[in-house]
Amino acid sequence: MSESASGGSAQDRDADEDLATSLAGLAGLTSLGSTLESVLTQIATFAVQAIPGAEGAGLTLLEEGRSDTIVKTASFVVQVDDIQYSLGEGPCIDAAAQRQTMRSGSLGGDPRWPRFGPRVGRLGVHSVLSLPLITPAGVVGAMNVYAHGKDSFDEQSERIGEVFAAPAAVSVQNAQILAQTQRLAGHLQAALTNRAVIDQAIGILRSRGGLTSDEAFDRLRHISQHENRKLSAVAASLVEEAVNRTRLPARLKTPPPPS
């Protein structure tokens, strides 16, 4: 029986199985209880498993108003991506900007990246497959998959990479949204805590000097500016000092233990 009659070559079947396994892992991925970086690293690890020829991967999450989050699955990827982002030139940058897959099997001589390619080639890394991570909301990031050998990625690798990139983009976006929600919740909780401490400090100043609320707040703000400290830090110090003062007389009145 021919390979076509039996459903393709063993190599093709192995590639499809690796892709299915990676997609299943992606579907079961959860961000709860994990950091954003660890989730992105898991996604990049699944990409290495899914894409034929891959030896390491890096994933870049783009966030407006924040530094890009960059993760890697192998030490040599760290070197390659550091070169890429320090130069501002490379396949990952172009993949995200142009919303297109970038593939090269000879980075050292690739005219698209005349500075990046030769430096990476001297490290012995010659092949790359860069995939934009696109959702209906736009490009959320890009993924680089690398190999040391030349022409390590063919059309099948590119096809599988693009199949993997579609659900991977959704997983990246979900992890990003959860991380943003957690950061917002943390900021709101900190703001509420700071407001409560400031209100307590205002109450202390009013009781001590017969000040109005506005006058007490102006006093706190003046101290903050004069000492170059955050208003909440000044308020917390004042509250802590007041608490310690109330505890001192209590300690002095406590009789010593019997001898």
Calculate helix-pair angle for 231-253, 155-209, nearest 10 degrees: 50
Of the two residues 20 and 168, the one the predictor is more confident about is: 168
Q: Which option is the CATH number for 10-183: 3.30.420.40, 3.10.180.10, 3.40.50.300, 3.30.450.40?
A: 3.30.450.40
Contacts of 5 (CB under 8 A, 6+ apart): none
Averaged pLDDT score across all residues of the chain: 81
Whether the predicted pLDDT of 130 surpasses 70: yes
SS3 assignment, position 132: strand
Whether the predicted pLDDT of 16 surpasses 80: no
17: enclosing H helix or E strand? helix 10-27
| Overall average pLDDT of the 51-62 stretch | 91
Q: What token pair was written down for 18?
A: 């690796």
Q: Which amino acid is at 111?
A: P
Q: Which option is the CATH number for 184-252: 3.40.50.720, 2.70.98.60, 1.10.10.10, 3.30.300.30?
A: 1.10.10.10
In the chain, what are the domain boundaries? 10-183, 184-252
SS3 assignment, position 147: strand
CA distances from 127 to 54, 84, 144 (A): 9, 14, 10
Least confident span in 140-149, 211-220, 235-244, 249-258: 249-258
Contacts of 129 (CB under 8 A, 6+ apart): 51, 54, 101, 102, 103, 144, 145, 153, 157, 158, 161
| Overall average pLDDT of the 216-229 stretch | 83
Instruction: Say which residue the tokens 């976006």 belong to.
Output: 173
SS3 assignment, position 126: coil
Q: What DSSP state is assigned to residue 33? A: T
User: Phi, psi at residue 194, to the nearest 5°?
Assistant: -65, -40
Q: How many CB atoms lie within 10 A of CB 147?
A: 22
pLDDT at position 6 is 45
| Overall average pLDDT of the 92-104 stretch | 94
Alpha carbons 105 and 152: distance in angstroms, whole number = 6
Least confident span in 29-38, 66-75, 173-182, 209-218: 29-38
Whether the predicted pLDDT of 132 surpasses 90: yes
Helical H segments across 88-212, by residue range:
91-98, 116-122, 155-209
Alpha carbons 67 and 69: distance in angstroms, whole number = 6
Contacts of 35 (CB under 8 A, 6+ apart): none
Rg (CA), the chain: 29
